[in-house]
Amino acid sequence: MSCLFCKIIAGEIPSTRIYEDETTFAFMDINPGTRGHALVIPKAHAADIHDVPAEVLGDMARTAQRVARAAKAQLGCAGVNLVQSSGAAAFQSVFHIHIHVIPRYEGDGVRLPWTPTPGNKRTWRIYDRRQKATADLLTLENEVIATDAPLVLRHPSDHTKLRVLQPGQISRIEPLHEAVVRAGRIVFDAPPLEELRRRRVEDVEALDPGVRRLVNPHIYHVSLSEALWNLKQELIAEARRDNISQAQ
């Protein structure tokens, strides 16, 4: 079984379950568009709207309604979007049919299809000449980090703050992402727990002592590359233009 959602139903991958009956399963989205964003799926595997039996689709609709009512009662949302995407061209990424139940709030700024953070990204750890981790860096998925040129590290939220690392200050750059799911299928075998523990110990030991200390530690945040920062600013500017147009 390589389907991500089938593994969630089987309990092989953890999830935050909010409802379950004989034919359907509802759980919280790990990359939510808004507070309370949930997914409703059938227990029996079906790839998309063309594959699922009509009666099971009806069961999914009833469960989606139940989750939507709970969102209104418990979260006080002002509205709800139900989104079902079938096919890659329609933004389906896990090929086990599912319905997004997305609570909506006044001024939440979500646009469909939602992008909680801009772009497909990769994460890198930058080590200094002492072999200590000096920064984690988010870049666009296809971005190339030049090792022979200054590297600009943008603060994730404060436009007045940035760091520039010169080539001589960097000893190595480590990719942190592991491909786990492609086209809705598991492509990664998780290492044993002891191996994960060993890696975490090494990660902590690689941190600068100023970050590790308990009293007044240095802040260690994830920086944005110049390209990702620029994309973020473009999206913010676009959203502001849209808000101004709607207000006029």
Residues annotated catalytic, as ranges: 98
Virtual torsion, Cα 58, 62, 64, 68, nearest 10 deg: 150
Helix or strand or coil: residue 79?
A: strand
| Composition of the chain by helix, strand, coil, percent to 5 | 30, 25, 45
Nearest to 228, CA basis, from 145, 171, 172:
145
Nearest to 211, CA basis, from 150, 125, 151:
125
Strands of the 99-104 sheet, one edge to the other: 17-20, 24-28, 38-42, 99-104, 79-83
CA 143/CA 228 separation, integer angstroms: 9
